[in-house]
């Protein structure tokens, strides 16, 4: 398949949505994935049924350099989504995080450097590279933490904020992030980095450590209690997967012009919410009260992270469009649709702000 887009880890939540968008736009897609994620096989069956030979699947591991070399040999552009995600697992097996997240990424950029063919690479990093943002002064309000610095409160955290690691996971992702940028600078690799925060949307298979928004909604629909680490006043900006995919497509459209740049990709202050506020909004969306229990603070968990996506907007014209209430209602309806009896779709509300 010529002129294809290679998605490393493309059978996951974000990758499958990106694949669908690219295929809808008429671009052939190759997915290299080990299929270890929950729901990966059913997702690929759905994509193959819908798009047929436009989609090619290579079952393999990004740590296998031979499989990696074969996959990139015919690619016109690459999106690197493959990663071992979540902080908790990295504390149990930090070497696996190093192998999957860092070594495989270095192998990838080295293969591209030695290949002599300037294949554009978009590396999907994470907002976790900023760690706990310990240097950020916060005021404690009734339902949320609020930055003392009003510019940050209005705009969010931009790409100039120093990287800080608070777990083996964060260390492996931050190092991979920096390797991609350095290969762009030192060797002219047409590569850019997207630092992605909290993403949610239909068909997300989440847990407490990753994809936690879908985990929350699923537990709420099952009338099971939701566990909140800490006091629940920590703030995150939430981004619908369709908005994220639009951002990634825009980045792919000008990789030469965006070479060597890192971008914070998130909903920004307009889509920011504390966990307490999100609990209330989720209850409004599903029309049911939700029980919450509190656990100890998670080590290295930031009290506040809201992306400043203004650089991405300035260089690509991208802005997030889907409001949080709308997106949560869509997610809840999709989750219920997979049950034996599916009630009517939920209504929508606006995003909570404070």
CA–CA gap between residue 294 and residue 341 (Å, rounded): 32
The closest alpha carbon to 193, from 224, 159, 170, belongs to: 159
With vertex at residue 58, the alpha carbon angle to CA 114 and CA 100, rounded to the nearest 5 degrees, is 60
CA–CA gap between residue 183 and residue 344 (Å, rounded): 51
User: Exactly one of 123, 130, 145, 169 is catalytic; which is it?
Assistant: 169
Q: Based on the residue annotation, tell me whether 169 is a catalytic residue of this protein.
A: yes
The closest alpha carbon to 251, from 156, 105, 124, 157, belongs to: 124
Per-residue 3-state assignment (H helix, E strand, C coil) for the chain: CCCEEEEECCCCHHHHHHHHHHHHCCCCEEEEECCCCCCHHHHHHHHHHHHHHHEEEEECCCCCHHHHHHHHCCEEEEEECCCCCCHHHHHHCHHHHHHHHHHHHHHHHHHHHHHCCCCCEEEEEEHHHHCCCCCCCEEECCCCEEECCHHHHHHCECCCCCCCCCCHHHHHHHHHHHHHHHHHHHHCCCEEEEEECEEECCCCCCCCCCCHHHHHHHHHHCCCCEEEECCCCCEEEEEEHHHHHHHHHHHHCCCCCCCCCEEEECCCHHHEEEHHHHHHHHHHHHCCCCCEEEECCCCCCCCEECECCHHHHHHHCCCCCCCHHHHHHHHHHHHHHCCCCCCCCCCCCCCCCC
344 exposure class (CB count in 10 Å sphere: 0-12, 13-18, 19+):
exposed
Residue 304: both structure tokens together: 């506040």
The residues that are catalytic are 169
């Amino acid at each position: 398949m010529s002129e294809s887009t290679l998605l490393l880890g493309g059978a996951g939540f974000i990758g499958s949505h990106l694949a669908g968008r690219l295929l809808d736009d008429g671009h052939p897609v190759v997915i290299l994935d080990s299929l270890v994620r929950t729901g990966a096989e059913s997702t690929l069956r759905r994509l193959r049924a819908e798009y047929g030979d436009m989609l090619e699947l290579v079952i393999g591991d990004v740590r296998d350099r031979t499989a990696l070399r074969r996959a990139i040999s015919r690619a016109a552009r690459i999106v690197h989504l493959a990663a071992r995600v979540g902080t908790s697992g990295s504390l149990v097996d930090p070497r696996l995080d190093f192998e999957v997240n860092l070594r495989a990424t270095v192998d990838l950029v080295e293969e591209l450097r030695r290949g002599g063919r300037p294949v554009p690479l978009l590396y999907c990093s994470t907002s976790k590279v900023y760690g706990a943002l310990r240097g950020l002064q916060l005021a404690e309000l009734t339902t949320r933490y609020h930055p003392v610095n009003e510019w940050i409160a209005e705009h969010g955290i931009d790409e100039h904020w120093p990287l800080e690691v608070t777990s083996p996971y964060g260390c492996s992702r931050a190092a991979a992030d920096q390797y991609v940028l350095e290969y762009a600078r030192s060797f002219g690799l047409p590569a850019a980095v997207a630092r992605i925060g909290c993403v949610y949307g239909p068909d997300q298979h989440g847990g407490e450590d990753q994809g936690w928004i879908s985990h929350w909604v699923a537990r709420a629909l099952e009338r099971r209690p939701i566990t909140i680490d800490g006091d629940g006043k920590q703030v995150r900006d939430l981004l619908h997967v369709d908005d994220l995919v639009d951002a990634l497509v825009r980045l792919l459209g000008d990789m030469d012009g965006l070479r060597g740049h890192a971008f914070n990709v998130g909903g920004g202050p307009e889509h920011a919410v504390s966990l307490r506020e999100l609990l209330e909004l989720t209850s409004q969306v599903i029309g049911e009260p939700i029980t919450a229990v509190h656990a100890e603070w998670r080590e290295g968990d930031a009290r506040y992270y809201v992306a400043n996506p203004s650089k991405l907007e300035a260089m690509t014209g991208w802005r997030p469009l889907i409001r949080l209430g709308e997106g949560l209602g869509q997610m809840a309806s999709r989750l219920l649709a997979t049950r034996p009896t599916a009630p009517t779709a939920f209504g929508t509300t606006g995003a909570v702000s404070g």
